[in-house]
Structure 1
Amino acid sequence: MIKKIEHIGIAVNNLEEATKTYEALLNVSPYKTETVEREGVKTVFFECGESKIELLGATREDSPVGKYLSKQKEGIHHIAFYVDDLQAEMRRLQKQGFQLLSEEPKAGADGKSIVFLHPKSNHGVLVELCEDQTQF
């Protein structure tokens, strides 16, 4: 069951500059910076009430975020929803016709297990489902 918006992912060209912008906007420092080598992304997380803002900077042009930024402008990349049981949500959504971008969850940033739903399933919005990491 989807519990809340976990975070909003924002793809940026210059992570250092964007971090300064969001520090000023939110009036807080990021609580975590992390590189996910497998995905070719460096992330910066800010707490924002019960949710978070995740800034995404590509570490490689051929990474998913790098490809996104080469085709799109900076901006909202995805919306992540927190779930209690990622495997159960994956099965439920597949039965309803949603297209998952991977068959199994993978390790994501900020201690989460994640899976993405294809934007075609969500009226053009890339959706991430995540739960606290229990494997990997």
Structure 2
Amino acid sequence: MVEKIEHIGIAVESIEELIPYYRDGLGLEYGGEEVVEGQKVRVAFFGIGESSIELLEPTSDDSPIAKFLAKRGPGIHHIAIRVDDIEQALKQHEAKGAQLIDKEPRLGAHNMRIAFVHPKSTGGVLVELCQTSL
């Protein structure tokens, strides 16, 4: 079952350059930074209501975010939807013919279990399904 929009992910060249805008300019609550080694990315979260904005900065030239930035430049990368059972959500997506990037959940920021659905199945938007760790 879908619970809420967890966050909107934005690919950026430099988190440090954008913290003042999101924290001071927009007045969003800065939730700190962390590195997700498996995805070769540094992330920073800013709370907005019950959701957040996630800035994604590559930590390696061969990371998915670096490739996204090289191809498209900075901008919205994905929308994350929190679900209560990610395995069930993946089964439902697959049963309905959605193209999955991840057939099994993996570990993301904040120790969330995540999996991505290909934009070809979602009207051009990269969708991240996520579930809080058990």
**Which stretches in structure 2 are left out of the alignment for 5+ residues?**
none
1:77 — aligned with what?
77
Q: Distance in 2 between matches of 1:5 and 1:29?
A: 17
Q: Does residue 1:9 correspond to 2:9, yes or no?
A: yes
2:50 — aligned with what?
50
Taking the TM superposition and a 5 Å limit, the aligned residue runs for 1:12-91 are 12-91=12-91
- Runs of 4+ displaced beyond 3 Å: none
* Greater Cα offset, 3-12 or 27-36: 27-36
Aligned-partner SS, 1:30: strand
Q: CA deviation at 1:87?
A: 0.3
* Number of matched pairs: 134
Q: Is contact 2:29-2:48 (8 Å) kept?
A: no
Give the superposed CA RMSD: 1.0
State the TM-score, normalizing by the size of structure 1. Answer: 0.94
Q: Which amino acid aligns with 1:26?
A: L
Aligned-partner SS, 2:109: coil
Q: Distance in 2 between matches of 1:76 and 1:110?
A: 20
Q: Does residue 1:92 correspond to 2:73, yes or no?
A: no
Q: Which amino acid aligns with 2:115?
A: V
* Per-residue CA distance 1:43-99 (angstroms, 9 max, x = gap): 000110010100000001111101000001211100000000000000001000111
Q: Is contact 1:9-1:79 (8 Å) kept?
A: yes
Q: Is contact 1:19-1:55 (8 Å) kept?
A: no
State the TM-score, normalizing by the size of structure 2. Answer: 0.96
Taking the TM superposition and a 5 Å limit, the aligned residue runs for 1:103-118 are 103-118=103-118
Q: Is contact 1:101-1:118 (8 Å) kept?
A: yes
Q: Is contact 1:26-1:48 (8 Å) kept?
A: no
Q: CA deviation at 1:6?
A: 0.4
